[in-house]
Structure formats: structure tokens, C-alpha cells
């Protein structure tokens, strides 16, 4: 069969040839049109995405960067023993830089932007660059440029965000010192963690950019005060601007509060007392009197009620970015190192305030009896080289018992006692001095702390080079016996000694922090998280009879007519016992160094049932009765204020040892 028009070629398997009918042709045409339309639409969409909307979608992709962030917790507060707030927080504004955003900029753009930011904030460009270099390995953590930024600058940055890509303005909490410079050395300060500190503490949850305590209570109790940082995510655009709400996976937790043993009123009185003592010293012609320290302690527990150091400083200079000019001023010798806590870290010869150590050691070793008479003379010749050691009162020539020698502070009496100890093979004065807390740290919970020095024959052999200097000579024991020569102590160690005498021979461990508390709404009772109860005083084995005789001598020193601070404390309504000291120390001053008298007074009261031990030092202040004793009295006046009647006593500075 031949092919006919309108038919497909014949198929032997089919009875009839396939015919394309008009209806079928229409269907095929419709399907073809649909397929072409679909392909055309798909092609147009792809073209539109690539050519027309490509830039827009690229910009949206850039604007959808998710960054994780670390939110600092609000730092805990610090209060005095009665709950009076001393260190708190106030809201502030911080300007930060996102290093990751800067990485997307050209070198020229980055340099120009950083220069603009430096000019706006008043932060040296070199400092900003240095901070960025230190954090180069951590591009996802913002770098703080400045804290406590004022509203005009914040407003300018927000209005010109396009000119400051990668710059973020955020809210923060800044340290606020409620009483200004009061107790500045106790509190310390907060600063950004250093690379070395971070290396030591990274496994404890610290991270770059964290602000931690760098000194004082802030450093010693940082683990409680710092709280727990928050962790979250935020969407930012290509300029580093935040484009979404912050989403926290972990909210920041406010740090615990710290309650001190310090009485803020007594602390203020102590700081004022040092300034008063310096003023008195200068009125007596001691023009180089320029600093001091004062410690007030509960003699039964070791709780420190006041710990003052002069000169002092305003701790607010450490809030935010520290001005290098301020740091330079604080470290300038002309300012006499105001950041040094002289009460715990200042080292001084104690002079006659050390004589109780010599007496107690001699009595313990059987070298001195309580009622023995020793001649007090104007001088003593010692050793084969006939070295002459003078008494502070060169006209004295009378026999004295221990109580009288303490009250009158007879040097030659204690020269004799020290020479007896010199003949012993085991250095008894040094041995007992260490038991009484000298030559090593006290263990106070807030540092730094000086250990001091109690020289021994072994120390001389190690310390000196020439054979003659290595020898411990009789003159060395004489100097040791009156707290001179190489002896060095801190005011805190001396206060601890007089607390030991006051409480009957037990050595207390000083404490400054009373407890850690959970933050609570104002007016609610604080919840104690961790109390720091004072350790029980240590009985170091002193003979109670010797202690009692020494107590009587200290009472006579403030009340007997021959006492070295009788004019200061003799008519004070509260019976006070204590000892003056005048210690020579070599001091560098303009024009060359020379020996200056350090003015000391240490004691306690009331005499029969002591509640307060006080030790005052006025640097280069002259005689103990002229500067340190009147300063110490100011603290007793504050402590016993409710028991005093105006005009019921009189005070007069007194020349003494």
C-alpha cells in the first residue's frame, strides 16, 4: 500500500496508519506554546536575579552577618561593716570597635576612619591601633575604645554611623566611688585584663576585653565581684551597625557584693588623723613630713576597722580609659607614691615601739625578771671597738624596773637586755619576734603586703660580701633591741603586736572582708553567700605574768608623769595604754639623703577591756609624742565619741623618744 497524504508511513503491526487529526494538532501547538512560555519566564527570572537585582541581594547578604558577643556582668558593690555603700556602679556609655568589620575595609579607609574616631573621642590613634593589634587573634570580640563617653560625642557618632563602620555604641556600668578618695588603697581599681593574666585565667572563664580587679579588694575578691558574663548573638550590617535585638543564650549575672570589716566613719577619722599628724610635725619644724599610715584593729578578732595611708589618690581616674598623664603623676616620686598602701606594704624601722618584743623575748628565755632593776644611763659603750650608744634622754641616771623602762622608754635599759640576748646561741629576740608576726606576712586577705625584716646572724652572712660585714656584732644586737639598724616592719605588723599585748598574748590574723553577699533589693536583708569569720587567735606561749607587767608599763607610758605620751593621753576619759617611738631612717631628699625621724605611736584601749588597737606612723614626723600620738588620739576620739564630754580633757604634743 502506498503512502497517502494525511497518513503516517504504514506500520505492519497496525491495521490502520496513524492519522494526525486537527484536534491533536491543536493540542500539540498549545503544549509547545506553554513550554516556550515557561522557559522564557525561567530565563527572564534568572536574568533579573543576576543582572537587575544582583547588587541588592548581595547587599542583603552582607547585612545579615550574625555575630556572637560577650556581655559583661554588672560588678558587685562594696560596703562597710554596717552596710554603708562605698563602691557602686553607675550607667555609662562605651564606644567599641568590631575588628571583623575593619578587616573588610581597605588600609586607606581603615586608617582614615580610625583617625576620625581618635579625633572625636580624644583617644590617641596609637593607643587605638595598639589595642587592635593586641586583639588581632580575636576578631569577633569588640575592642573597647573609651568608656564614659559624653552625650554630645555619642550623638555625633550615631548621626554619622556611615563614616564610622565597625564602631558600636553600647551601654555599660562604670565603677562609682561614693566617698571619693576614702579607702582608695583598700579598694584598689579595675582594669582590662592583661595578656599574662589572661594566659593564667583563661580556663576560669576569662576572655580578652574583660575588666578585672587589679589591686586591693577588687583584685583579691574579683572572683566574687565580677559576676558571670552573658553570651548572645546579634545581626549587624556591613558597617557593623546592629540590625536586630540582642538574643541571649546566657544572660549576664550580677556579681556578689562584698561587706568589709572597715568602719567608714573610723576610716575617715584615720585618714584625717594622718593629715593632722603631718601638720603637727611641720609645725614642729619637721618640714619633710609627707606621709604616713594608721591601722585600727579589734584586738580580740583581728578585724581591721580602719586602714589608712597618706598620700592617697582618687580611684575614679582608673574608671574607663586611663589618662597616661594621670598614671605618670601617680608614679612621680614628687607625689610620694600615693598608690602605695603604707599600712600593709610600707617598711619602716619601728624604733622604741619594738621594745616590748625585746622585753617579752628576754623574759621568755629567762634573761630578764619582771622586778629586776637595771641602771638607766645617758649612754652605753659597747664592744671591743668601744662604740657609744646614746639614750634619747642623755641626762638619765637611775635604776629602773621593766614597767618604768617601758614608760620612760629608756634606751640603755634595753641595750643591756639586748646584750644578754647577744650572748645566747639561738638569737632569742629574733626567734620570738618571728613568733609575734615579724619577718613574714600577716596573712591579711587584701594585699599587697610587705614581709619586713628581722635581721639574724645567718641573714648577715648571706646579705653582705666582706668578711667583717658578715659578722654579727654586739652593736647589731643593741640596735635590734630598740627597733633600729636593719629591722623593718609594716604598721599592720605593729598593730598586730599591740593587739597581742592587749588580748593577753594571742596573735590574731588581720582581716578586711567580713562576708560575701547576694545582691538584694534596697531595704531587704542581705543574703550571706560566704562569711569570712576571723580565725581564732593563736596562743604563742607567752608568760601571762610578763604580759601583765608589760601592760602596766604601757599604761604608765600614757599616764605616769614620766610617761612619753602622758600629755596626750593622760586626761583622756577612756584609759589608753601605748608606746611612742622615734626611729631613724635614711631618706632620699632633694640635695642628698639623710636620716629622718619616723614618728610612731602604738597602743590600745580601754586598758582593762581593750576594744581597739591603734598604730600610727608619720613619715619623717619627728618624735612619736609630737605627731603620731596626737594622730592616734583622733581615732580613739571617733571610736569612743558617744562616751566623751566636750572639754573633759586636754591634749598637748610631747617630746619623746
**Beta strand extents in 74-142 (DSSP E only):** 78-79, 85-97
pLDDT band at 397, cuts 50/70/90? very high
What's the CA gap between 273 and 223, in Å, rounded? 34
Rounded-to-integer distance, Cα 498 and Cα 507, Å:
10
Packing angle, helices 428-435 and 474-481, rounded to 10: 30
CB-side neighbour CA atoms (13 Å) of 336 = 18
- Average the pLDDT over 327-345 and give the result: 92
Is it true that the peptide bond before 448 is cis, omega within 30 degrees of 0?
A: yes
What share of the chain has pLDDT > 70, as a percent? 91
Q: E strands along 314-403, which residues?
A: 374-376, 379-382, 387-390, 398-400
What is the per-residue pLDDT for 117? Answer: 92
CA distances from 510 to 223, 365, 518 (A): 21, 28, 24
pLDDT at site 512: 98
- Helix (H) or strand (E) holding 334, with range, is none
pLDDT for res 605 = 98
Residue where the block lists cell 494525511: 6
In this model, does residue 587 exceed pLDDT 60?
Answer: yes
- Do the beta carbons of residue 188 and residue 316 sit within 8 Å? no
Give pTM, 2 decimals. 0.86
Beta-carbon contacts of 78 under 8 Å, excluding residues fewer than 6 positions away, are 85, 86, 87, 187, 217, 225, 257, 258, 259, 260
**CATH class, 66-181+230-256 region:** alpha beta
Q: Which residue from 81, 79, 254 is spatially nearest to 177, judged by alpha carbons?
A: 79
pLDDT bracket for residue 43 (50, 70, 90): confident
pLDDT at 103 over 60: yes
Please give the pLDDT value at position 371.
Answer: 92
Asked whether residue 239 carries a pLDDT value surpassing 60, the answer given is no
pLDDT at residue 652 is higher than 50: yes
Q: What pLDDT sits at residue 147?
A: 87
| Spatial distance between the Cα atoms of 601 and 592, rounded to a whole number of angstroms | 28
pLDDT, residue 281, reads 97
Q: What is the dihedral of CA 381, 382, 384, 386, to 10 degrees?
A: -30
Q: Model confidence over 442-458: pLDDT tens digits?
A: 999 998 999 999 999 99
The three cell numbers locating residue 75: 560588678
- Nearest alpha-carbon partner for 147 in 162, 129, 177, 168: 168
Q: E strand or H helix at 154, and its extent?
A: helix 151-159
pLDDT, tens digit (0-9, with 9 covering 90-100), for 145-178: 998 888 899 999 988 888 898 888 888 889 999 9
Interval 39-47 mean pLDDT? 70
Q: What is the pLDDT of residue 657?
A: 81
Residue with cell 618584743: 357
Taking alpha carbons only, the member of 232, 92, 101 closest to residue 161 is 101
pLDDT in tens, 483-534: 999 999 999 999 999 999 999 999 999 999 999 999 877 767 889 999 999 9
31 pLDDT above the threshold of 90: no
Mean pLDDT, the chain, integer: 89
β-bridge partners, 247? 233
153 contacts: CB under 8 Å, gap ≥ 6: 95, 120, 121
Q: Where does the pLDDT of residue 353 fall: very low under 50, low under 70, confident under 90, or very high at 90 and above?
A: very high
Alpha helices in 188-341, H assignment, sequence order: 195-201, 216-220, 222-225, 264-283, 324-331
For 426, 461, 471, 472, the CA distances from 467, given in Å and listed in that order, are 21, 8, 7, 11
The residue-averaged pLDDT of 427-435 equals 98
Worst-scoring range by mean pLDDT, 23-37, 54-68, 91-105? 54-68
Residue 536 — very low, low, confident or very high, per pLDDT cuts 50/70/90? Answer: very high
Residues 310, 291 contacting (CB under 8 angstroms): yes
Dist. CA 421–CA 433, nearest whole Å: 13
Q: Would the pLDDT of 1 be above 50? A: no
What pLDDT is attached to residue 46?
A: 66
Which residue matches cell numbers 653582705?
464
**How far is Cα 213 from Cα 441, in angstroms, rounded to an integer?**
22
Confidence of residue 237 (pLDDT cuts 50, 70, 90): low
- CA–CA separation, 654 vs 651, rounded Å? 9
Contact 258, 77 (CB under 8 A): yes
Instruction: Give dist(CA 549, CA 568) in Å, integer.
Output: 22
Dist CA 648 CA 644 (whole Å) = 8
Buried b (16+ CB within 10 A) or exposed e, 629-651: bbbbbbbbbbbbeeeeeeeebeb
Q: Which residues of 121-156 are buried (b: 16+ CB within 10 A; e: fewer)?
A: bebeeeebeebbeebeeebebbbbbbbebeeebeee
Spatial contact of 33 and 40, defined as CB atoms under 8 Å apart? no
Q: If you average pLDDT over residues 362-386, what whole number do you get? A: 95
Residue 66: partners with Cβ closer than 8 Å, 6 or more residues away = 233, 234, 235
Please name which of 150, 175, 220, 203 lies closest in space to residue 77, comparing C-alpha atoms: 175
Residue 109 CB partners (closer than 8 Å, separation 6+): none
Q: Cell digits for 182? A: 576614702
In degrees, rounded to 5, the angle at the alpha carbon of residue 170 between the alpha carbons of residues 167 and 175 is 125
Closest CA to 494 of 587, 624, 337: 624
Amino acid at each position: 500500500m502506498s503512502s497517502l497524504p494525511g497518513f503516517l508511513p504504514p506500520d505492519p503491526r497496525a491495521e490502520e496508519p496513524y492519522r494526525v487529526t486537527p484536534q491533536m494538532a491543536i493540542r500539540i501547538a498549545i503544549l509547545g506554546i506553554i513550554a516556550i512560555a515557561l522557559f522564557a519566564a525561567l530565563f527572564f527570572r534568572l536574568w533579573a536575579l543576576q543582572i537587575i537585582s544582583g547588587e541588592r541581594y548581595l547587599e542583603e547578604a552582607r547585612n545579615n552577618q550574625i555575630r556572637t558577643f560577650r556581655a559583661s556582668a554588672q560588678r558587685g558593690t562594696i560596703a562597710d561593716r554596717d552596710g554603708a555603700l562605698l563602691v557602686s556602679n553607675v550607667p555609662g556609655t562605651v564606644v567599641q570597635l568590631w575588628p571583623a568589620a575593619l578587616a573588610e575595609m581597605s588600609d586607606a579607609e581603615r586608617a582614615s576612619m580610625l583617625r576620625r574616631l581618635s579625633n572625636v573621642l580624644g583617644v590617641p590613634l596609637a593607643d587605638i591601633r595598639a589595642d587592635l593589634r593586641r586583639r588581632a587573634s580575636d576578631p569577633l570580640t569588640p575592642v573597647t575604645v573609651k568608656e564614659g563617653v559624653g552625650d554630645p560625642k555619642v550623638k555625633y557618632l550615631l548621626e554619622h554611623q556611615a563614616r564610622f563602620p565597625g564602631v558600636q555604641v553600647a551601654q555599660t556600668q562604670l565603677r562609682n566611688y561614693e566617698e571619693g578618695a576614702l579607702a582608695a588603697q583598700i579598694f584598689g581599681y579595675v582594669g582590662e585584663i592583661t595578656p599574662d593574666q589572661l594566659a593564667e585565667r583563661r580556663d576560669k572563664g576569662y576572655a580578652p576585653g574583660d575588666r578585672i580587679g587589679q589591686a586591693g579588694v577588687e583584685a583579691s575578691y574579683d572572683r566574687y565581684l565580677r559576676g558571670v558574663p552573658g553570651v548572645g548573638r546579634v545581626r549587624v550590617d556591613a558597617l557593623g551597625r546592629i540590625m536586630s535585638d540582642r538574643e541571649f543564650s546566657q544572660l549576664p549575672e550580677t556579681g556578689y557584693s562584698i561587706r568589709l570589716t572597715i568602719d567608714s566613719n573610723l576610716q575617715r577619722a584615720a585618714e584625717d588623723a594622718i593629715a593632722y599628724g603631718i601638720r603637727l610635725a611641720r609645725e614642729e619644724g619637721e618640714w619633710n613630713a609627707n606621709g604616713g599610715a594608721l591601722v585600727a584593729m579589734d584586738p580580740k578578732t583581728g578585724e581591721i576597722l580602719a586602714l589608712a595611708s597618706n598620700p592617697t589618690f582618687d580611684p575614679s581616674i582608673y574608671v574607663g580609659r586611663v589618662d597616661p598623664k594621670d598614671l605618670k603623676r601617680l608614679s612621680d616620686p614628687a607625689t610620694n607614691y600615693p598608690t602605695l598602701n603604707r599600712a600593709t606594704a610600707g617598711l619602716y624601722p619601728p624604733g622604741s615601739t619594738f621594745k616590748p618584743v625585746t622585753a617579752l623575748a628576754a623574759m621568755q628565755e629567762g634573761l630578764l625578771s619582771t622586778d629586776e632593776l637595771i641602771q638607766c644611763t645617758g649612754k652605753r659603750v659597747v664592744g671591743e671597738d668601744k662604740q657609744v650608744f646614746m639614750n634619747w634622754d642623755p641626762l638619765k641616771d637611775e635604776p629602773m624596773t621593766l614597767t618604768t623602762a617601758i614608760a620612760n622608754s629608756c634606751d640603755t635599759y634595753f641595750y643591756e637586755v639586748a646584750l644578754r640576748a647577744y650572748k645566747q646561741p639561738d638569737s632569742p629576740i629574733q626567734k620570738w619576734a618571728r613568733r609575734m608576726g615579724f619577718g613574714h606576712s600577716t596573712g591579711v586577705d587584701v594585699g599587697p603586703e610587705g614581709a619586713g625584716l628581722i635581721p639574724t646572724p645567718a641573714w648577715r652572712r648571706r646579705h653582705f660580701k666582706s668578711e667583717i660585714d658578715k659578722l654579727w656584732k654586739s652593736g647589731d644586737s643593741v640596735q635590734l633591741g630598740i627597733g633600729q639598724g636593719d629591722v623593718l616592719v609594716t604598721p599592720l605588723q605593729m598593730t598586730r603586736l599591740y593587739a597581742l599585748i592587749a588580748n593577753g598574748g594571742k596573735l590574731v590574723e588581720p582581716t578586711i572582708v567580713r562576708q560575701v553577699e547576694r545582691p538584694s533589693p534596697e531595704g531587704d536583708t542581705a543574703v550571706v553567700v560566704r562569711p569570712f569569720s576571723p580565725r581564732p587567735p593563736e596562743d604563742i606561749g607567752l608568760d601571762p605574768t610578763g604580759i601583765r607587767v608589760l601592760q602596766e608599763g604601757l599604761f604608765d607610758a600614757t599616764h605616769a608623769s614620766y610617761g612619753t605620751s602622758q600629755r596626750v593621753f593622760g586626761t583622756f576619759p577612756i584609759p589608753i595604754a601605748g608606746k611612742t617611738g622615734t626611729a631613724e631612717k635614711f631618706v632620699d631628699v632633694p640635695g642628698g639623703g639623710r636620716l629622718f625621724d619616723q614618728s610612731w605611736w602604738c597602743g590600745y584601749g580601754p586598758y582593762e577591756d581593750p576594744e581597739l588597737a591603734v598604730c600610727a606612723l608619720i613619715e619623717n614626723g619627728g618624735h612619736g609624742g609630737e605627731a603620731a600620738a596626737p594622730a592616734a588620739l583622733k581615732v580613739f576620739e571617733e571610736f569612743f565619741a558617744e562616751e566623751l564630754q566636750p572639754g573633759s580633757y586636754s591634749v598637748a604634743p610631747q617630746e619623746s623618744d
